[in-house]
Amino acid sequence: MKTRAVLVLENGLVFEGESFGAEGQTIGEVVFNTSMAGYQEILTDPSYKGQIVAMTYTQIGNYGVNHEDIESAKGLPKVEGFIVKEYLNYPSNFRSEESLGHYLKKHGIVGIQGIDTRALTACLRDNGSMMGVISTDSRYTPQMLFDMVRGHCGIGGIDLVKEVTTESSYQWPAEQKVWGYEESAPNVRPIHHEKLKIVAYDFGIKLNILRNLASEGFDVTVVPAATSSAEALEINPDGIFLSNGPGDPEAVSYAIENVRQLIGKKPIFGICLGHQILGLALNGRTYKLKFGHHGGNHPVKDLTTGKVEITAQNHNYCVDIESLKGQVVQTHANLYDGTPEGMRHVELPIFSVQYHPEAAPGPNDSNYLFRRFKAMITGGRYED
């Protein structure tokens, strides 16, 4: 017997559907993702902590779930809830190990299917991302759920990084399989023998970032988000990497200050939240986008080469390049809305991008960024 589920938004809009996954209720910021595939990577991306994700593609679950495509270090889903138009309960794929619904239920993630996701997406696009609640509990009326979500403080200004970062430092070995399973993917660069040592700040790091860094010959020490600059420098790394992560960058004040203390001491490369934290550490400002960028089909132009790459994105905040007052130059631009997607310091070996090169929607369009980081450290040339 199917269980009724309800989604209620903070503007009072109510969607009725059916439950799949865990039963209960969950509150989060509702965002839409335009990717046609990759739901497992989305579910386990720590950057989605605090958010309920709605997929715009109509049928979700058709290829199931497997342990190889997980992106979180502990292998757990990080979303607060999941919304789909049609859930397919019988996956068909040779790599599938369990159904999506079973995976969500096992990990306590509430899901809702059978709602008009086009109407939901249009609402979020027109009104912006907003808080919402999904409930499968018949004791709660839509009015009660509306009162609940209206009384929620939201996720702005809350430090979500502390909920997803590693508890202790660890090494990521360069010998790690690049893609996590035996068969090598085509066009994957071989692992190099020369080793460069980097410290990677874990603000919610994705495993494929570590794989890409390893494939470029880096020995990676992953450290907790609150690691001091002094502790990072004691490792004597050749460079510093600032990872992706969830939420409002201004809420991670300790990370901003630590990065500020590292500027000028080591080469730095930042991705997503790491990009935003770097902008704040340079005394710039960030601002929240209306409904953010969430999907695997965003065209971005590299302003240094003129090339356009298809990128994966997951962020609600953006760095105001003008607020950095000439310290950096913009290196990348989003061709959908013109927002800045990358920057490079005019004097110091520092650069960052807003999108996710490791997610490989292109699939290899953005791999050069890891080579660019290596070249910045060694003073060599990188291949576009």
- Residue 1 confidence (pLDDT): 67
Q: How far apart are alpha carbons 80 and 97 in whole angstroms?
A: 23
- Residue 273 confidence (pLDDT): 98
> 312-347, pLDDT tens digit by residue?
999 999 999 999 999 999 999 999 999 999 999 999
Beta bridge partners of 343: 330, 352
Instruction: Judge whether 153 counts as a catalytic residue.
Output: no
Question: Which is nearest to 335 in space by CA: 310, 360, 301?
Answer: 301
- Residue 173 confidence (pLDDT): 66
Q: 222, 169 in Cβ contact below 8 A? A: yes
Beta bridge partners of 287: 318
Q: 310, 297 in Cβ contact below 8 A? A: yes
Question: Which is nearest to 63 in space by CA: 89, 83, 85, 35?
Answer: 89
How open is the CA angle 105-38-47, to the nearest 5 degrees? 75
pLDDT tops 90 at residue 174: no
> 209-258, pLDDT tens digit by residue?
999 999 999 999 999 999 999 999 999 999 999 999 999 999 999 999 99
- Residue 14 confidence (pLDDT): 98
Q: How far apart are alpha carbons 78 and 26 in whole angstroms?
A: 13
pTM: 0.93
> 6-27, pLDDT tens digit by residue?
999 999 999 999 999 999 999 9
DSSP string, 203-252: SS--HHHHHHHHHTTEEEEEEETT--HHHHHHT--SEEEE----S-GGG-
- Phi/psi for 219 (5° steps) reads -90, 120
**Marked catalytic residue, from 315, 332, 345, 356:** 356
Rounded to the nearest integer, the mean pLDDT of the chain is: 92
Contact residues for 239 (Cβ-Cβ < 8 A; gap 6+):
196, 198, 199, 266, 267, 268, 269, 373, 376, 377
Instruction: Judge whether 356 counts as a catalytic residue.
Output: yes
Beta bridge partners of 330: 343
**Marked catalytic residue, from 29, 41, 309, 358:** 358
Instruction: Judge whether 123 counts as a catalytic residue.
Output: no
**Marked catalytic residue, from 41, 272, 275, 332:** 272
Q: Which domains does the chain have, with CATH numbers?
A: 4-150 (3.50.30.20), 161-378 (3.40.50.880)
